[in-house]
Amino acid sequence: MGLLDGQRAVVTGGASGIGRATARRMAEEGATVAVVDLNADGASEVAKEIGGSAHVADVTDPEGLKNAIDDAASAMGAITILFNNAGVGSVSRLHEWAPEEWDRLVAVNLKGVYLGFRAAVPHMLASGGGSIVSTASISGTRPAAGEAPYAAAKAGVAALTASAALEYGPDIRVNSVSPGMILTALTEPWLESLPHEKERFERTTPLGRIGEPADIADVVVFLCSDMARFVTGQNIVVDGGLTLHGSGVDGLFEQLFTRKQD
Contact 7, 83 (CB under 8 A): no
Question: What's the pLDDT score for residue 172?
Answer: 98
Q: Based on the number of CB atoms within 10 Å of its own CB, is 202 exposed (0-12), middle (13-18) or buried (19 or more)?
A: middle
Four-residue CA torsion sign, 33, 36, 40, 42:
negative
| CATH at residue 33 | 3.40.50.720
Question: What's the pLDDT score for residue 189?
Answer: 76
Number of domains into which the chain is organized? 1
Question: What's the pLDDT score for residue 255?
Answer: 61
Question: What's the pLDDT score for residue 253?
Answer: 59
The strand pair at 235-238 and 32-37 is best described as: unpaired
* 67 located within any domain: yes
Q: What is the mean pLDDT of each run of 10 residues along the chain (262 residues)?
A: 96 97 98 98 98 98 98 98 95 94 97 98 97 97 92 98 98 98 81 79 92 98 98 98 78 57 50
* 155 located within any domain: yes
- Does residue 168 carry a catalytic annotation? no
Burial 144-171 (b: 16+ CB within 10 A, else e): bbbbbbbbbbbbbbbebbbebbeebeee
| Separation of alpha carbons 160 and 62, rounded Å | 17
Catalytic residue among 102, 150, 190, 201: 150
Contact 66, 119 (CB under 8 A): yes
Q: Whose CA is closest to 140, among 127, 131, 150?
A: 150
Burial 41-59 (b: 16+ CB within 10 A, else e): ebbbebbeebebbbbbbbb
Question: What's the pLDDT score for residue 251?
Answer: 59
Q: Whose CA is closest to 20, among 235, 153, 185, 227?
A: 185
Range of the domain at 38: 8-261
* 1 located within any domain: no
Half-sphere exposure of 98 (CA within 13 A, CB side): 4
